Amino acid sequence: MLARCCQRLFSVSKSVPIIDVEGFLTQTDSSVKDCEKVAKALHEYGCLIIKDPRVQPKDNDRFLDMMEKFYDSSSKNYYAGKPTDIFPETHYQVGATP
């Protein structure tokens, strides 16, 4: 679900640049322009979208599913009163801070 939401968000928002790392991997002349695009994107937006030809769509979907499951279980534990990432014995130096 998150993947579809992100795809819709990024397909609507054309302003955040998509950087294809294939130029970096093959050391083509376009890699200098891509470096400039990366610097500009980080300066203007603080983020960018990376397109890597080595990543298969099924691996990307599996990663997003894993992250969704993690945050879903984490939020269920938190709201059930059993947070697993808050450590009061370390004076909140690790994990969430109230």
Q: Could you report the per-residue pLDDT of 31-82, keeping only the tens digit for each?
A: 778 888 889 999 988 998 888 999 999 998 999 999 999 888 888 877 887 7
Query: Does 47 reside within a domain?
Result: yes
What are the contacts of 60-69 at 24+ separation with CB within 8 A? 60/3, 61/3, 64/2, 64/3, 67/2, 68/1, 68/2
> Looking at per-residue confidence, does 69 or 3 come out higher?
69
> Looking at per-residue confidence, does 30 or 20 come out higher?
20
**For the chain, how many structural domains are there in total?**
1
Q: What pLDDT is recorded for position 97?
A: 62
Query: Does 34 reside within a domain?
Result: yes
What's the domain range around 19?
Answer: 15-57
Span 8-16, mean pLDDT? 60
d(C-alpha 83, C-alpha 92), whole Å: 13
Query: Does 22 reside within a domain?
Result: yes
